[in-house]
Structure 1
Amino acid sequence: MSDLAIGGAGQDGGTFRLRTVILLLAVGIIGFVGLLLSNAYQSPSRSSNGATAHALSNGATGYSGIIQLARAMGKDVRVIRDDSELGSTGLVVLTPPLASTPLTDVLARRGDLPTLVILPKWSTSPLRPAGRPGWVMRWGLIDRKEPEGVLAPNNKFAVTRARSGGQPLRSAGWITEDFGFEAPRPLQTISGANLKPLLTDEQGNVVLGEIGDKSFYVLADPDILSNMGMREESQARAALELLDTLNQDGQRDWAFDVTLAGLGKAKSPLRLAFDPPFLAMTLAIVVVMLLAGWQAFARFGPPAHRPRAIAFGKAALVDNAAALIRKAGRQARLGGRYVEAIRERATIAFGVPSRLRGAAIDAYLDKLSGRARFTELAQAVGDADDKASLVAAARALHDWQKEKGK
C-alpha cells in the first residue's frame, strides 16, 4: 500500500558504485560502436575465389604478379570491386572466366573508353592439399566454346590452338613497337570479322586484336599477362609496356576488374547509417539515447514516495467514506440521517422526557421558543434534492440547535 525505504539514505549501496557502472557502460558502448564501424567499413576480402583467373589470384593463371610489379614501379594500379568504378577513365582489363559471364552491362558502361578483354584458356582447380593459398592445379586447356563465346553473339571468333615453339610475337596494325614477347606454349589465337591484328604469331594469327574503332581490345592468350608469363623478366617488361601502349587516353595508370569473377563489393546496408545523408539521423538517435540514459542516472530531485491509498485514523475513514458518497452522487439522500442525528442530540441537550417517542419528540421540540420550528427545518432537509439545497437546509437545522443551546 505504500513505498518502504530500505536502508539509510546515507548508505553507498549496491555491489557496483555508480561510477563503476558508468565506466562499464561507456566501455561497452565504445566497443559496440567500434564493432559496427569496422563491419561497415571493413576492407574487401582478398579471397582468391577458388581457381578462377583474376587480378587477386596468386595461381599460375592469375594476374596478381603484373599488378604487384606495376605498383612496385610506382604505378597506381587499381583493382575494381565496385560496379560504379567501371566507367572510370583509363584502361580497364576484364577477365571473364567463362562464356556465360555477363559482359553486356560492363561493356555498355565502358563505351568508348579503352577496354581489354582477356579470353580464358586453362581448366584449373584449387591445389590440394592447400599448403599454398591461391595456387591452382592445371588440368589442361578449357573447351574452345568457352573463349569463343565470351563476346558472342555480337562478336564471334574462332579459337585456334597450336604449338608455338616459343617463337617471338610480332606487332601489327598501329602498334609498331617490338615488345619482345615470346609465344606461350601452346599458343591460343583467334580469327574473325571486324578484328584488327595488333599482336600476331609468325603465321599472322591474331594474339591481340582490336574490335572496331572504340579502343576495344581482345587478348586471345592470357599467358601473355598472367603470373605464368611473369616468370621471365623480359616478358614482364613487355607486358607492362603493352598495357601502357593500349592505354591511349594519356593515362599512365590502368585497372583490373574482379567483379566478373564474383569478387564485387556489395554496398553494406550498415554503412548507409554512417554516410550522408543518413548520418544526421544516426547522430540524432545517438543523442536521444544519451539523453535517455542521462535521465535514468541523474534523477531530478529526491525520489517521491507514493502516499497510502487508505490513510490511518477515524478522520481518514470519514473522509474516504465522504469521497465515495460524493463520487456516487448520493449526498442529497443523507438528509434523513442528519435529521435523526440532530434529533438525538437535541433530545439529550434539551431534556426531552424519555417516555416520548416519534412525533411526540418533534412536538416537544417545536414548543421550544425560537424563530423556527424543528419539524419545519427537518422537513426542509428531507425534501432537499441536490447538494446545494441540502447544505442550506442542514445549516439551518444546525443553527436551530445552536440557538436553542444557548
Structure 2
Amino acid sequence: MSDVGAAPGKSGDGEGPFDVRTVAILITVGIVAFLAMVVLGAYAPDLRSGRNGGAHALSTAAVGFGGIVRLAEATGRNPRIIRNPKMLDTEDLVVLTPESGATDMTKALAQRRVKPTLVVLPKWATTKDPRHSGWVNVAALLPPGEPQGVLAPQYPLVVTRYRSGGRPLKGLAWMPSSLRFAAPRAVQTITGPDVRPLLTDAAGHVVLAQIGTHPFYVLADPDLLSNVGMRDASQARAALELLDWLNSTGAESIVFDVTLNGFGRSPSPLKLLFDPPFLAMTLAVAAAVLLAGIQATARFGAPRRRPRAIAFGKATLIDNAAALVRKARRQGTLGARYVDVVRDRAVGVFGVPARLHDTALDHYLDALTGRPRFTELAEQARVARHPRDMLAAAQALHHWLWEKTR
C-alpha cells in the first residue's frame, strides 16, 4: 500500500496550467528587476546629474560652472567633482560655490583652514526655462544680503554692484600678465576687514580678494568663472590661469565641491556591498544563492520514491507495537514479561533440565558462573515503572544472557 499518487489537477501528459519556460522567464525577470532596484538604490546619489539650473560645477545653465570643469579637463588639469565632505581634506585648490546666504559653510571652512580655497559668491536670481531642461532665465540680481550672508558672521563682507562698462580688471603688479579679465557690465564687488585686493575694477572696487594671511580667496563676481563667462575665449583662458595661480605648488588637481549645493552623499551600508573589499563577499553570497536555487529547481541523481505509509517487516511490526504500548501507558507491566522471555531463552541456550520450574529454575540460573545473578536482575525488571528504569533493566538482562553465551 502506498500513498504515492498523481498530483491533483495534473494531466497525464505532464502539462500544467503554466508552461515551465514561462515560469522560468517570470522568475528571472523578477530577480533581475529586484537586483537592479537594489543597485540603483545604492548608487542613486551618484547618478544625480545636477542639471537643475543651479550655480554649481554640475550645472550647464548660464549661472553654472560646468563649462570651466570641462575646460579644465580638456586642458589636462584633472578636475574633480566631490560629493563626499570628507574628501575636502586635500592640498589642492577647492572651489566652493554656495548658492545662498543660508548655506552652512562652517564645516567646509573648518576643514580647509590653511589650504587653498576659493569661495565664489552668488549673484543672480533665476527661474527655470520651461523649454530646455537644465537651463534658466536670469530674472534679476540677488539682494545684497544673500552674498553677504555666505561668510557671515565669521567674515563680515559688504557687497556692492557697479556698472563697469566692460572695462578690463586690474591685478597686482606681480600677478601673471595672462590674467586679463574684462569686467562684467554689472560687476559685483566686496569690501570688509582683512580684505586684500587681488583683482579690482577700473574704479578700484575689489572683485577677487584674499581674506587674512592664509590662501583663502573670495571671488565676488561669479561671472568670471560661470558658463556665461566661458563663452569668450580670452575670459576662459584667464579663468584657467586664475585657478592655476590660486592653486598650491605641485597641485595635482582642481577640486569643485557640490556638497554645499545638495549633491553630497554619506557612506551607505547598502553601497558597501558593491564596493571592494566587500564586493567579493557579495559575489560569493550571490553565487551560493544561485546554486541553491538551481539545486531547488533541478534534480540531482535518480528520483527517490516516497516511502510507504505502512512499511513491511518485523522492525515495523515491533515499532508499531511499541507505539501502541506507549500510547496505552502500559510500559510498567512489561518488566515481568521480559523476564519470562529471557528465562525461556536461557532454558534453551543452557540446556536446563525440563524438571526445573519457577524457583528451582531461577536458582539454577543463579548458579551459572559470573555476576550479577539472574534473580537480582529479574527483580529490578519487575519493580521498574519508569520507561528509563525499564530500559536499563531490560538491557542488563540482555547483557547477562549475552555474557553467559560468549
Residue aligning to 2:332: 329
Q: Tell me how far 1:35 sits from its aligned partner.
A: 5.6
Residue aligning to 1:306: 307
Q: Tell me how far 1:13 sits from its aligned partner.
A: 4.3
Q: Tell me how far 1:117 sits from its aligned partner.
A: 0.3
CA distance in structure 2 between the aligned counterparts of 1:47 and 1:19, rounded to whole angstroms: 43
SS, match of residue 131 in structure 2: coil
Contact 1:114 1:215 in 2 (8 A): yes
Normalised TM-score (structure 2): 0.70
1:151-190 residue CA offsets vs partner (Å, 9 max, x unmatched):
1111111111111111111002752535221111211111
Q: Tell me how far 1:119 sits from its aligned partner.
A: 0.7
Residue aligning to 2:99: 97
Q: Tell me how far 1:115 sits from its aligned partner.
A: 0.8
Which residues in structure 2 correspond to 1:358-369 (within 5 Å)?
Answer: none
Which is higher, the Rg of structure 1 or of structure 2? 1
Which residues in structure 2 correspond to 1:267-306 (within 5 Å)?
Answer: 267-279=267-279, 281-296=281-296, 297-299=298-300, 302-306=303-307
Residue aligning to 1:66: 68
SS, match of residue 47 in structure 2: coil
Matched to 1:226, the amino acid is S
Change (3 A) 1:330 1:141: same
Instruction: Report the more deviating stretch, 59-68 or 193-202.
Output: 59-68
1:240-285 residue CA offsets vs partner (Å, 9 max, x unmatched):
2111111132326312211111112343432211234544543453
Change (3 A) 1:207 1:25: same
1:24-62 residue CA offsets vs partner (Å, 9 max, x unmatched):
86776566546644554565211323x421112222211
Residue aligning to 1:253: 253
Matched to 2:264, the amino acid is G
Contact 1:170 1:178 in 2 (8 A): no
Which residues in structure 2 correspond to 1:47-126 (within 5 Å)?
Answer: 47-49=50-52, 51-126=53-128
Instruction: Report the more deviating stretch, 232-241 or 25-34.
Output: 25-34
Change (3 A) 1:179 1:26: same
Change (3 A) 1:230 1:5: same
Change (3 A) 1:228 1:329: same
Matched to 2:262, the amino acid is G
Aligned length: 343
Normalised TM-score (structure 1): 0.70
CA distance in structure 2 between the aligned counterparts of 1:204 and 1:23, rounded to whole angstroms: 73
Change (3 A) 1:385 1:144: same
Change (3 A) 1:298 1:200: same
Q: Tell me how far 1:324 sits from its aligned partner.
A: 2.1
Residue aligning to 1:351: none
SS, match of residue 330 in structure 1: helix
Change (3 A) 1:73 1:318: closer
Matched to 1:218, the amino acid is V
Contact 1:173 1:196 in 2 (8 A): no
Change (3 A) 1:20 1:147: closer
CA distance in structure 2 between the aligned counterparts of 1:212 and 1:285, rounded to whole angstroms: 55
Contact 1:148 1:159 in 2 (8 A): yes
Contact 2:164 2:202 in 1 (8 A): no
CA distance in structure 1 between the aligned counterparts of 2:290 and 2:28, rounded to whole angstroms: 11
Change (3 A) 1:60 1:287: closer
CA distance in structure 1 between the aligned counterparts of 2:231 and 2:286, rounded to whole angstroms: 55
Specify every segment of 5 or more residues in structure 1 that has no aligned partner in the other structure, as ranges.
336-369, 378-383, 392-406
1:263 maps to 2:266: no
Contact 1:95 1:261 in 2 (8 A): yes
CA distance in structure 2 between the aligned counterparts of 1:105 and 1:319, rounded to whole angstroms: 77
Instruction: Report the more deviating stretch, 299-308 or 148-157.
Output: 299-308
Change (3 A) 1:157 1:371: closer
CA distance in structure 2 between the aligned counterparts of 1:256 and 1:242, rounded to whole angstroms: 15
Contact 2:336 2:381 in 1 (8 A): no
Specify every segment of 5 or more residues in structure 2 that has no aligned partner in the other structure, as ranges.
339-353, 362-377, 384-393, 395-406
CA distance in structure 2 between the aligned counterparts of 1:60 and 1:302, rounded to whole angstroms: 71
Instruction: Report the more deviating stretch, 252-261 or 88-97.
Output: 252-261
Residue aligning to 1:395: none
SS, match of residue 106 in structure 1: helix
Matched to 1:64, the amino acid is G
- Taking only the aligned residue pairs, the percentage that are identical comes to 48
CA distance in structure 2 between the aligned counterparts of 1:332 and 1:221, rounded to whole angstroms: 106
Contact 1:171 1:198 in 2 (8 A): yes
CA distance in structure 2 between the aligned counterparts of 1:23 and 1:371, rounded to whole angstroms: 84
SS, match of residue 85 in structure 1: helix
Which residues in structure 2 correspond to 1:6-405 (within 5 Å)?
Answer: 6=6, 13=14, 15=16, 33=35, 36-37=38-39, 39-41=41-43, 43-49=46-52, 51-127=53-129, 130-172=130-172, 174-177=174-177, 179-251=179-251, 253-279=253-279, 281-296=281-296, 297-299=298-300, 302-309=303-310, 320=320, 323-325=323-325, 328-331=331-334
Residue aligning to 2:349: none
SS, match of residue 67 in structure 1: helix
Contact 2:336 2:382 in 1 (8 A): no
Q: Tell me how far 1:69 sits from its aligned partner.
A: 2.5
